Chains A and B, each alone.
Chain A
Amino acid sequence: MLFPTATFALFFMVVLPLSWLLMPRGERWRGFIVVASFVFYAGWDWRFCFLLAFSILWNQLFALALHRREDARTRKWLLAGALSGNLALLAYFKYVGFFITSTNNLFALAGIDVPLEARSVILPVGISFFTFMAIAYVVDVYRGDFAPTGLGKFAAYLSFFPHLVAGPIVRPGELIPQFDSPRDPRYVDTSRAFFLIGTGLFMKVVIANHLASNIVDQVFGAPNQHSSLEVLVGIYAYAVQIYADFFGYTNIAIGIALLLGFRFPQNFDAPYAATSIQDFWRRWHMTLSRWLRDYLYIPLGGNRGGSLFTYRNLMLTMLIGGLWHGAGWTFVAWGAIHGTALVGERWCRERPGYVERPSTPWRRAWQRFLTFQIVCFAWIFFRSDSFSDAWGLIVRLFTAWGESSELVTGGVLLAIAIGIGSQYLPRRLPLVLMARFSRLPVPAQALVLSVALLVVHAMGPEGVAPFIYFRF
């Protein structure tokens, strides 16, 4: 069930009032929201509801056992058991085909025929997201940061449909306490919720889909058929497409949760206005960055063991982060580019005699430009099917200037300008708009929203492409 569809609209218009009606009855509400979330998930493939149920039971079982045991050694084994189960699920559903073909081909290079039967398994939508949330739960319980909650609350936390398939990755301490107290139906931040849903729909349906179908798919599909200008604009267009797609999804998810009375953490903060790669990762997919920092980088040792040790941990975190996005070496390369850039920035700052220069508008503009180019360069590998495709695209970028560029249309340039320009809007502007919207009478609010629906539906393409991050 995709958010921007009539099916979801119908589903939500049933769930929204029922959820508020049942809200004062905690247990009934939890049962209702779990059932609704499973119905939502079954919209893709009902068989994977069993997988989600297994994940809930497995992690709850280990979390309760971890909480009851005090012996450090036993607790470590229990944690290892919980993590192994989660990682085994990911490994099987997401990486089995990748591992087998990589192994076969590696041995084939040495002339050894390995009789491993290659297969790929249907990837359950959202598995990476709910697995990461489950890992956060058991690790927090292990660390003593969070006491295990009841099965109903944990099931509601892990399966809650607004975040289920593509995040944001909400930590247990952020959401489960909200289930403890009924939300107050008299005071709901509806204007922010509607604003987020409206902007999310526009970014996904109009901007992302327009760029995908008018330049990105063509350029990345057959780069040698396109001019250097088309390739360059195609790369920038992909940068905007993936941002608009994921930012749009996240906005809708946060808005829907807010209408139900729950607050999710922010996931984006104008990432293409970042002045360094480190700054980029503070603004892009913030809940994943935070997860990688707390559950991977810090357990690896973080920056506690000297420069080289820190560089190693940074690189490992980004390589694993790359692999999390997809079972392919191009994703590892994407992570490696970001890891190298992060290490490079850190090395520069740690050089003896390094002095931070004063920040001037020109200096910031240059840093933003440079950061955006590095991010776009990395996106080439992220989007390409293979290294040869990525290389072909890079070569084409320099070798076909002067050829006709029919794909570079006014519509494409406008969509890119909106995508990048939106990062530089004054931060007060959306707040002012939301505040004004909140003061409108109910019929006027409905009218504004219906006009927004008109614009999104009329300007979007026929049909809705799935969100890019659903496959991660």
Chain B
Amino acid sequence: MATRRRHPRRRTGDDGRRLHSAGSAVVVALLALLVGVLLNAPGLHKSAEIQPEGWKRDAALAVTEPLASVSSALLLDRPRRGLKAAIGRSDDDEIDTGIAVPKPPPDETPAPTKPPPREKFSPQRPLRIWIAGDSLVVVPGQSILRAVGERRAIEPIGDVDGRIASGLERPDVFNWFEHVSEVMRKDKPRAVVLMFGGNDDHDFMTGLPEGREIDAFGSASWTAEYRRRVAGIMDSVTRRGAYLVWIGLPITNDRNQTARFDTINAVVQSQAAKRPGRVSYLDTYFFFAGSDGGYAQFVENDAGRLVQMRAGDGVHFERAAGDLIARKVLNRLNQRFDLTSWRTTRS
């Protein structure tokens, strides 16, 4: 009788590992991905939800919405929720698009006000400052922190609160309206430095009031809604008694993007102008323009040395640019507050 002989080749690899077929590898990978996707469905759905508007987001939502439903029905989302709760990040998968902004005053024209007195601060009673915004604020924010380390009358609240890909258009990505209100309530900063808009030059907004629709970027309806949001952030800060320095968006290497940033800057500047003494708008446009008035990646610094101000993407800042913005922000704070007289008083 002929016996069937097993193939003598290696079925076991190095160190006693059993080798498997390529088909088995494909099946294991597919099954693992499928179950892994169901286990992580709430997080994947949120990732899809917060993508920029477009076909990729639509496609991702079309896939993740039913997956999230199936995962929930089969209770496969429970382990993830438990794990998130165990590491103290239960809110990670929540999508919160609610915009809670203070109601605007009935009359938008500013009441004539005297410039407020320059309040004194000292190392014993430092000015508490909070710096926040999208990714553009990170480099100038760190420059401000380095600079205030030498000015003992200013005390930062934590590190730079920069959130990548966030802005005022998409509270589903990160809800700044809620976050600003919470920080103002809990930490009570007296000075706030904000920079927003780098991710807001699009048509798409979430968190619109019931029944409201917006048209294209820069249209009257878009501008009205964006103005409402900028004003809401400004009022959340100033009604808690803090002084706000809002850093404007810079010129970029893309003319179209610069034009869109101009639209955003115009909204912010007009809203800041309505809150004199409480909000200061810092126009950065000309800091980074070359000799021809256009975009320049390398600009001479105060010492006359040519330094790289802008990152390779033509939008973000390099360290030297951050230092320049930091000096201007600190000038504004010095104009508004007395941060130096404690030195002479002490001596």
- A residues near B (Cβ < 8 Å) are 6, 9, 12-13, 16-17, 20, 97, 101, 104-105, 108, 118-123, 184-194, 218, 221-225, 259, 261, 385-386, 392, 406, 411, 431, 434-435, 438-439, 442-443, 445-447, 449-451, 453-455, 457-459, 462-463
Do B297 and A119 touch across chains, with their CB atoms under 8 A apart? yes
**Which residues in A have their C-beta under 8 angstroms from that of B223?**
none
Kindly state the separation between the CA atoms of A263 and B26 in the bound complex, as whole angstroms.
Answer: 18
Q: Which single member of A9, A193, A435 contacts B25 (CB below 8 Å)? A: A193
What number of residue pairs across chains A and B have CB atoms under 8 A from each other? 180
Across the interface, name the chain A residue whose C-beta is closest to B80: A458
B24 touches A462 (CB 8 A): no
In the complex, are the beta carbons of A463 and B21 less than 8 A apart?
Answer: no
Contact yes or no, B312 A225, CB < 8 A? no
B75 within 8 A of A: no
Q: Contact flags (1/0) for B20-31 with A, using CB distance below 8 Å?
A: 111111111111
| A194–B33 alpha-carbon span in the complex (Å) | 12
Alpha-carbon distance between A434 and B47 when the two chains are bound, in angstroms: 32
CB of B98 closer than 8 Å to a CB of A: no
- Is the pair A222, B20 in contact by a Cβ cutoff of 8 Å? no
**Are A187 and B11 also in contact (CB < 8 A) when A104-B306, A442-B28, A450-B35 are?**
yes
Q: Which of B20, B23, B46 contacts A191 (CB 8 A)?
A: B20
B residues neighboring A (CB under 8 Å) = 9-11, 13-36, 39-40, 43-44, 46-47, 60, 79-80, 83-84, 87, 92, 138, 142, 145-146, 148-150, 156, 158-160, 164-165, 297-298, 304-308, 312, 319
Q: Are A438 and B17 neighbours in the complex by a CB distance under 8 Å?
A: yes
Give the CA-CA distance A263 to B84 in the complex, in Å: 37
Q: Which of A97, A118, A187, A462 contacts B10 (CB 8 A)?
A: A187
Q: Are A259 and B29 in contact (CB under 8 A)?
A: yes
State whether B30 touches A13 (Cβ < 8 A).
yes
Q: In whole Å, how far is A12's beta carbon from the nearest beta carbon of chain B?
A: 8
CB distance from A445 to the nearest CB of B (A): 5
In this complex, what residue of B is CB-closest to A108?
B305
Q: Which residues of B contact A108 (CB under 8 A)?
A: 304-306
Do residues A458 and B308 form an inter-chain contact, with CB atoms below 8 A? no
Query: Are A462 and B47 in contact (CB-based, < 8 A)?
Result: yes
In the assembly, what is the distance between CA of A223 and CA of B143, in Å?
Answer: 11
Cβ-closest chain B residue relative to A444: B28
A16 to B29, Cβ gap below 8 A? yes
Residues on B with C-beta less than 8 A from A449 are 28-29, 32, 36
A385, B165: Cβ atoms closer than 8 Å = no
A92 to chain B minimum Cβ distance, whole angstroms, is 14
For A450, list chain B residues within 8 Å (CB).
31-36, 39
Given contacts A13-B30, A224-B150, A386-B319, A454 and B40 within 8 Å (CB-CB): yes
**Contact between chains at A438 and B20 (CB < 8 Å):** yes
Given A9-B33, A224-B150, A431-B15, are A101 and B297 also a contact pair (CB < 8 Å)?
Answer: no
Docked-complex contact A454 and B83, CB < 8 angstroms: yes
Q: Which residues of A contact B17 (CB under 8 A)?
A: 189, 191-192, 431, 434-435, 438
Contacting pair A438 B21 (CB below 8 A): no
Q: Is the CB of A185 within 8 A of B22?
A: yes
| Residues of A contacting B149 in the complex (Cβ-Cβ under 8 angstroms) | 222, 224-225
Most buried by B among A120, A123, A261: A120
Look across to chain B and name the residue whose beta carbon is closest to the beta carbon of A6: B44
Q: Name which residue of chain B comes closest to A258, CB basis.
A: B25
Asked whether A443 lies within 8 Å of B31 as measured between CB atoms, the reply is yes
Contact between B32 and A453, CB atoms less than 8 A apart: yes
Give bound CA distance, A101 to B39, whole Å: 51
Closest to A109 in B: B305
Task: Supply 9 further A-B pairs (C-beta < 8 A) apart from A16-B29, A191-B17.
Answer: A16-B26, A97-B308, A186-B9, A188-B22, A221-B160, A224-B145, A434-B15, A435-B16, A457-B80
Chain A to chain B: the 10 pairs with minimum beta-carbon distance, closest first: A224-B149, A453-B36, A446-B31, A449-B32, A222-B145, A450-B35, A118-B298, A221-B142, A185-B22, A450-B36
**A458 B40 Cβ-Cβ under 8 A:** yes
A119 touches B298 (CB 8 A): yes
Query: Would you list 20 pairs from A and B whose C-beta atoms are within 8 A, ordered by A residue?
Result: A13-B30, A108-B306, A120-B308, A187-B10, A187-B19, A187-B20, A189-B17, A190-B28, A192-B14, A218-B160, A222-B160, A225-B148, A442-B24, A445-B28, A445-B32, A446-B31, A446-B32, A453-B32, A453-B33, A458-B40
Smallest CB gap from B36: residue in A: A453
Question: Smallest distance from the beta carbon of A21 to chain B beta carbons, Å?
Answer: 9
Task: For B9, list chain A residues within 8 Å (CB).
Answer: 184, 186-187
Contacts of B21 in A (CB 8 A): 185-188
A349 to B254, CA, bound (A): 58
Which chain A residue has the least Cβ–Cβ distance from B40?
A: A457
Q: State how many angstroms separate the Cβ of A132 from the closest Cβ of chain B.
A: 22
User: In whole angstroms, what is the CA distance A457 to B87 when docked?
Assistant: 13
- In Å, the complex CA distance between A192 and B44 comes to 27
State A259–B26 Cα separation when bound (angstroms): 9
Most interface-central of B28, B47, B319 (chain A CB within 10 A): B28
Residue with the greatest number of chain A CB neighbours at <10 A, chosen from B11, B16, B36:
B36
